[in-house]
Chain A
Amino acid sequence: MRINGESTAPQSGGRASSMWTPSQFELNRRRIRSEQNRRNAIIAIISTFLVLGTLATILITSPGFKSLTDTFFAWSYGVEVLPKVILGFCTNIALTLIAGTAVSIFGLVLALTRTSRSPALTPFRILATIYVDVFRGIPMLLIILLVGFGIPALRLQGLTSNVLVLGTIAVVITYTAYVAEVIRSGILTVHPSQRAAARSLGLSNVQTLRHVVLPQALRRVTPPLLNDLVSLIKDTGLVSILGVTDAIRAAQIASSRSFNYTPYVMAAGLFLLVTIPLTRLTDHTMRKAMERQNAQGLA
């Protein structure tokens, strides 16, 4: 927090604050505080060394440590297979971008349908509710298997049997249900008085939604939505069971060739490379938004 005592000094309270020198009590207090800070820093350093050092010692001196590093951290082999894993990872990224976009659109439509009050939309409201109930309640792996193997089994003309497309569809089906619920909960948290204020300004139902309710709702659900995006990136790996060559599948192929698990570690590293910055970015954008609008606006 900024304290603006100094900067406003030349205006109203100018004389008083420029004349002010800290009292003996305050100087004493500052000395005690800085002593306490120094002591706390020393304690923190010692305790960190003790805990992490002990853990590292236990790990390194354990009898299986050598074989563990050989099977999981064979760096030269890792570097050798890395291009293939990266190539697979591109599939994950592409899948995330396509599925993420589709999920945002469908999720929003579903959430708006469920929160609408228009009598004409009643059947859609019922269908949306059933959809969410069903697809939120089935494990995603099952959906992937059902879509991935079920749709080609129908042997219908014109339906694709491309596993990548089918896998993406399965991911979209499941995540739409989750995201719709997150957005809906955001819409419901916008206080009715905001709606009343907008309506009494003559804004129509749709305008109220578009300019007043949704901006506030989406801002509130940004952290859980980005949380879902991180999950989505990871869960795209599940389509590998259909035979899609994503990062996990590529790593699996590489490791089964040499009975070395380093490719898996490489794949894990690639996922972290994307998910950690994304999490940091989420925190950053949220903090910015809160600073701009003050904390209360998000309450």
Chain B
Amino acid sequence: MTTPVLRVESLRKSFSSEVVLQEISFDVPVHTATVFIGASGSGKSTLLRCINLLDSIDDGVIELDGVEISDPRVDSDDVRRKLGMVFQSFNLFPHMSVLENITLAPIHVQGVGRQEARNQAIELLKKFDLGDKADQYPDRLSGGQQQRVAIIRSLALKPRLLLLDEVTSALDPILVNEVLSTVRDLKSDGMTMVIATHEMGFAHQVADEVCFLHHGRIVEYGPPEVVLSNPQDSRTKDFLKRVHEAGRL
């Protein structure tokens, strides 16, 4: 059996006395997408931040390509180079143009030449229909465009694994679609992803495996046809029912 890109084993995370994640274990094989669903505050974002080493964990092991990255002796900058992360609030750098945002890390982290980084960035922008926005500043773009630029920015490092943290939560329903279709394109390109989302329809389309997080635990996981369409756990059923009532399914 091949080593999964990401392996999380018995992860535990607490903020002072409050335990936000416990007994979290899952594998993400190459070219697959694992989608985390669950109510706000169930720990989805924290989990992604832990994988990206932005938060430290209290117990358990995280492995990237079979190498433990939760070891404190590991160079976290080195790990983050292999991981792409896209945030709910885009977090583009407002003082840089779209092109500068995208080429910053390739130039300064990977040491790619300026011209080459530029060409790669423009190629990526064209691929995602943003070719004409290269010299714009982020504040001139719509939310959907900003988020797509943020996705491209993390792609420019050719990451092993992409972490998407509720990438559509700050967008209105119409802009949501352009971002989701970008993510679907990535999926068909074979990108390995861990996704936290509230978009159940999208989860259904893109997920190889869905995990339902409840109060910091994975209470149900499996293929989307099972977890989303035919959930076994009463808490999953309850959650999906509420999502359905809110009109998001």
| A-chain residues with CB within 8 Å of residue B24 when the two chains form the complex | none
**Which residues of A (215-236) have their CB < 8 Å from a CB of B?**
215-216, 219
Name B139's contact: one of A194, A196, A204, A293 (CB within 8 Å).
A293
Instruction: State how many residues of chain A have any CB contact under 8 Å with chain B.
Output: 23
Instruction: State how many residues of chain B have any CB contact under 8 Å with chain A.
Output: 30
Assess whether B140 is interfacial by the CB under 8 Å rule.
Answer: yes
> Provided the pairs A199-B80, A200-B80, A201-B157 are in contact, do residues A293 and B137 lie with their beta carbons within 8 angstroms?
yes
Measured CB to CB, the nearest residue on chain A to B154 is A201
Question: How far, in Å, is B114 (CB) from chain A's closest CB?
Answer: 14
| B-chain residues with CB within 8 Å of residue A202 when the two chains form the complex | 77-78, 80-81, 105, 109-110, 157
- Does the CB pair B94–A201 fall under 8 Å? no
Q: Indicate with 1 or 0, residue by residue over A189-216, a CB within 8 angstroms of chain B CB atoms.
A: 0000110111111111001000110011
- Does the CB pair B54–A207 fall under 8 Å? no
A201 to B138 alpha-carbon distance, docked (Å): 17
Name B91's contact: one of A194, A207, A293, A296 (CB within 8 Å).
A194
| B-chain residues with CB within 8 Å of residue A219 when the two chains form the complex | 95
Question: Which among B49, B54, B76, B95 has the highest number of chain A CB atoms within 10 Å?
Answer: B95
A235 to B94 alpha-carbon distance, docked (Å): 36
Assess whether A10 is interfacial by the CB under 8 Å rule.
Answer: no
- Does the CB pair B80–A201 fall under 8 Å? yes
**Which residues of A (27-68) have their CB < 8 Å from a CB of B?**
none
Assess whether B85 is interfacial by the CB under 8 Å rule.
Answer: yes
Assess whether B192 is interfacial by the CB under 8 Å rule.
Answer: no
Q: Indicate with 1 or 0, residue by residue over A157-194, a CB within 8 angstroms of chain B CB atoms.
A: 00000000000000000000000000000000000011
A200 to B55 alpha-carbon distance, docked (Å): 11
> Provided the pairs A197-B91, A216-B94 are in contact, do residues A296 and B139 lie with their beta carbons within 8 angstroms?
yes
Question: Which among B109, B153, B157 has the highest number of chain A CB atoms within 10 Å?
Answer: B109
Assess whether A257 is interfacial by the CB under 8 Å rule.
Answer: no
> Provided the pairs A199-B80, A200-B52 are in contact, do residues A297 and B94 lie with their beta carbons within 8 angstroms?
yes
Measured CB to CB, the nearest residue on chain A to B163 is A200
> Provided the pairs A200-B80, A201-B153 are in contact, do residues A294 and B139 lie with their beta carbons within 8 angstroms?
yes
| B-chain residues with CB within 8 Å of residue A293 when the two chains form the complex | 94-95, 137, 139
- Does the CB pair A196–B93 fall under 8 Å? no
> Provided the pairs A201-B105, A297-B139 are in contact, do residues A194 and B93 lie with their beta carbons within 8 angstroms?
yes
Assess whether A292 is interfacial by the CB under 8 Å rule.
Answer: yes
- Does the CB pair A193–B80 fall under 8 Å? no
- Does the CB pair A297–B137 fall under 8 Å? yes
**Which residues of B (71-98) have their CB < 8 Å from a CB of A?**
76-78, 80-81, 83-85, 87, 89, 91-95
| B-chain residues with CB within 8 Å of residue A203 when the two chains form the complex | 77, 104-105, 108-109
Measured CB to CB, the nearest residue on chain B to A202 is B81
| A-chain residues with CB within 8 Å of residue B52 when the two chains form the complex | 200
| A-chain residues with CB within 8 Å of residue B104 when the two chains form the complex | 198, 201, 203, 211-212
**Which residues of B (23-57) have their CB < 8 Å from a CB of A?**
49, 52, 54
> Provided the pairs A202-B77, A202-B81 are in contact, do residues A297 and B95 lie with their beta carbons within 8 angstroms?
yes
- Does the CB pair A207–B108 fall under 8 Å? yes
Measured CB to CB, the nearest residue on chain B to A293 is B137
A211 to B153 alpha-carbon distance, docked (Å): 15
> Provided the pairs A201-B80, A201-B104, A202-B80 are in contact, do residues A215 and B109 lie with their beta carbons within 8 angstroms?
no
A292 to B138 alpha-carbon distance, docked (Å): 11
Interface set of A (CB-CB < 8 Å, partner B): 193-194, 196-204, 207, 211-212, 215-216, 219, 292-297
List 7 A-B pairs, Cβ < 8 Å: A197-B85, A197-B92, A200-B52, A202-B78, A203-B109, A211-B104, A292-B137
Kindly list the 7 A-B residue pairs having the minimum CB-CB distance in the complex, ordered from nearest: A202-B81, A197-B91, A297-B94, A294-B139, A201-B105, A200-B85, A202-B109
- Beyond the given A200-B85, A202-B157, A216-B95, please list 14 additional residue pairs across the A-B interface where CB-CB is below 8 A: A196-B87, A197-B87, A199-B76, A199-B80, A201-B153, A201-B154, A202-B78, A202-B80, A211-B93, A293-B95, A294-B139, A296-B94, A296-B139, A297-B138
